[in-house]
């Protein structure tokens, strides 16, 4: 448990903080997995603009949550919405979840997943999947620890390199609460 960490819905004003956490977490998580030039070239301002667009989207088809410490500093975030590739069974998707390195393994990731799963459930999704790089051992161990089942694999291209990804699914979101 992480009692001093508050999980709340993200607001447009969080876009910069989310992009900052995303960039820092990508650089520590994916060092050695994703080409170094790609990680070095990540632009917080450009990413913040993309998050801001999502956070101000009036259709509200996606959800965004942040984890903040006692000082109101954003230390992690997660997002979710409809599954993006037309999967026949899994209709919801956990599209991103990232914590700063020093806040990992304290129960915050589980709480962020619960927040997204709760939103999906309220919005009539019964299940969800996520995609994780095959080389992201910690991510995979996390998803398996919280009940995810491996579904599928695919190859994606990041920074000119072909990388394998696995999908993990939860058929019954209520088991996550
Ligand atoms: C993956 C991530 C979101 C998990 O969040 P977290 O706060 O570190 O995980 P939690 O502390 O909530 O762990 C929940 C459960 O997963 C288990 N777990 C988490 N990381 C683990 C690891 N590396 N190895 C084994 N088990 C792990 C915990 O032991 C815990 O199980 P328990 O409750 O039975 O003890 C976080 O570590 C992170 O941001 N990592 C870097 C970014 C990343 O990989 N994101 C996913 C991209 S697809």
CA-closest residue to ligand 1 atom 19? 142
- Domains (range + CATH), the chain: 6-176 (3.40.630.30)
Span 141-172, pLDDT tens digits: 999 999 999 999 999 999 999 999 999 999 99
Among 7, 134, 145, name the best residue to mutate to test ligand 1's pocket (greatest count of ligand atoms within 8 A of Cβ): 145
Give backbone dihedrals phi and psi of 68, rounded to 5 degrees, phi first: -125, 150
Span 2-58, pLDDT tens digits: 679 999 999 999 999 999 999 999 999 999 999 999 999 999 999 999 999 999 999
Kindly report the pTM of this predicted structure. 0.98
Establish whether residue 79 lines the binding site of ligand 1, counting it when its CB lies within 6 angstroms of any ligand atom.
no
Establish whether residue 95 lines the binding site of ligand 1, counting it when its CB lies within 6 angstroms of any ligand atom.
no
């Amino acid at each position: 448990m992480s009692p001093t960490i508050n999980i709340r819905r993200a607001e447009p004003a969080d876009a910069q903080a989310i992009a900052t956490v995303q960039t820092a977490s990508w650089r520590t998580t994916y060092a050695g997995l994703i080409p170094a030039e790609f990680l070095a070239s990540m632009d917080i301002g450009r990413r913040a603009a993309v998050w801001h667009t999502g956070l101000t989207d009036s259709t509200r088809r996606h959800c965004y949550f942040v984890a903040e410490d006692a000082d109101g500093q954003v230390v992690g975030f997660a997002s979710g919405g409809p599954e993006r590739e037309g999967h026949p069974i899994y209709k919801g998707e956990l599209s991103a979840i990232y914590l700063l390195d020093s806040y990992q393994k304290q129960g915050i990731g589980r709480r962020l997943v619960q927040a997204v799963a709760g939103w999906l459930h309220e919005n009539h999704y019964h299940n969800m999947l996520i995609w994780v790089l095959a080389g992201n051992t910690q991510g995979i161990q996390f998803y398996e620890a919280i009940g995810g089942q491996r579904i599928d694999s695919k190859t994606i291209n990041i920074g000119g390199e072909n990388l394998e990804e696995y999908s993990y699914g939860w058929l019954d979101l209520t088991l996550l609460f």
